[in-house]
Structure 1
Amino acid sequence: MQTVAVLDFETTGLSPRQGDRATEIAVVLLRGGEIVDQYQSLMNAGRRIPSDVVRLTGITNDMIASAPAASKVMREVAQFVGKHPVVAHNAGFDRRFWQAELSLLGMPADQAFACTMLVSRRVYPHAQNHRLSTLVDMLRLPKAGRAHRAMADAQMTCHLWHRLQHDIAETYGMRRVDYDLITRVQATSGAKVPALLRSLGESQAQ
């Protein structure tokens, strides 16, 4: 049974290219819809957190001051993720920080990333928006804690990932909705997704 690593970063800002750094990471290993392991840590990258980000996340500069070094955390979490494919909500953001933080350590960061935000746009096109909190409310998924903390967001992304798999399978009569299938959905334009999934469903039925 396939295991995916569901990942979420909290950071000092939006772009590592502008000097922003990670302040917290959580990774949940999900297998068959069940959480089998998890990792979470604050990290100190020597970068001050702006006041607006402190208000958003609740992560303060005092909390970061006593946190382990970012280098230590990222080495640990890279080993924890291993070769598992990665899932994140708004994965482009998390992938940029994943690559930037590991690049500073001279470590590879070549994991595949699937994006629950992109997939939800194709599966739930009529949602009010595709922010994680909106989708959790719309689909009545379990809430894991304060939004914009890494473990809470990672756990809610787990629930969303599993729900996407379930809804695709139910709608298109599929026995199996795996990581590769979902990445095909996210890479396909919204108008073409129903035809793609009908075709894949028919292939599985043969």
Structure 2
Amino acid sequence: MSRADSLVVLDFETTGLSPDMGDRAIEIGAVKIEEGVIVDQFQALMNPGRRVDPFIERYTGITNTMLTSADSCADVMADFAEFIGDSNLLAHNASFDKRFLDAEFQRIKHQYRGEFICSLLVSRRIFQNAPNHKLGTLVGYCNIESNGAFHRALYDSEMTAKLWLAIIDIICQRSNLETLPFNAAQKLCKTPKKSIDKYLESLKPIVA
């Protein structure tokens, strides 16, 4: 059984919003979690082969000068493929990061074997009273210690990992579970908000 607390949490910084419009990754950050413990990390800038615009420089703090000396996207993604191995994958707003992961891996003709889950979708169901479900807001909402240095890939992946472990703790408490199966967490993403209590109740182990 795949566990929800054993996976790779990743985050991309990019030149824009869509690889279909020619945007590229400029930084990847990731942490590996095994049974609820962060055991490894990965971070690298990557040179997309063209300049990034001033807005992205200001937003991320990643400058064209920094990228000039960075390894190519192909080299970094080949290393990242080794890092993730067969692990399942998680990101906050995973549809965004999955698009860039798919696009960059397609360029090096690599296919990953793990499945994705989205902490944003799960958080919308577990934290229905939160002001919003941006990563920074939820980190504060859950009283997770933070220095506020968001929009760099490794830091965002670390904060997402801590948020995800907090979410798992809440789900396990509400469902009397010792561990949360990955597929059960996946189903949460598609469960209507009004049905969350019923779904969490259904996860409770049958006690003879």
Residue 18 of structure 2 is matched in structure 1 by: 15
Q: CA RMSD in A?
A: 1.5
AA of the residue aligned to 2:102: Q
1:149 pairs with 149, 152, 156, which one? 152
Query: Are 1:91 and 2:117 counterparts?
Result: no
Q: List aligned pairs for 1:49-198, cutoff 5 A.
A: 49-143=52-146, 146-198=149-201
CA offset at residue 179 of structure 1? 1.9
Specify whether residues 179 and 59 from structure 1 end up closer, same or farther in structure 2 by C-alpha distance, changes over 3 A only: same
Q: Deviations over 1:66-125 (max 9, x none)?
A: 100110000000111011000110000000000000001111145311111000000001
1:155–1:139: structure 2 CA closer, same or farther, 3 Å change rule?
A: same
Q: Residue type matched to 1:56 in 2?
A: Y
DSSP-derived class of the 1:99 partner: helix
Q: Quick one: distance in 2 between partners of 1:25 and 1:180?
A: 26
Compared with structure 1, are the counterparts of its residues 11 and 82 closer, same or farther at alpha carbon in structure 2 (3 Å cutoff)?
Answer: same
Displacement, 1:38? 0.8
Deviations 1:133-175 (A, max 9, x none): 0000111112266100001000001101100000111122222
Residue 34 of structure 1 pairs with residue 33 of structure 2: no
Which stretch of structure 1 is more off in the superposition, 148-157 or 174-183?
174-183
Q: How far 1:190 moved relative to its partner? A: 1.4
Q: Is the 1:175–1:204 contact (alpha carbons within 8 Å) kept by the matching residues of 2? A: no
Q: Secondary structure at the match of 2:27?
A: strand
Gaps of 5+ in 2: none
Which sits farther off after the overlay, 70-79 or 182-191?
182-191
1:83 maps to a residue whose letter is D
Structure 1, unaligned stretches of length 5 or more? none
Identity percentage of aligned residues: 40
Greater length-normalized contact order (CA 8 Å, ≥ 6 residues apart): 2
Specify the alignment match of 2:48 in structure 1.
45
SS in 1 for 2:76: helix
CA distance in 2, matches of 1:47, 1:66: 12
Residue 32 (structure 1) shift: 2.2
* Structure 1: distance between partners of 2:192 and 2:95: 17
2-structure distance, mates of 1:114, 1:126: 22
Aligned-residue offset at 1:200: 1.0
Number of paired residues? 205
Structure 1 166/4 Cα, relative in aligned 2: closer, same or farther at 3 Å?
same
The letter of the residue matching 1:130 is H
Deviation at 1:47, TM superposition (A): 2.8
Partner letter of residue 183 of structure 1?
Answer: Q
Alignment partners' CA distance in 2, 1:9 and 1:205: 43
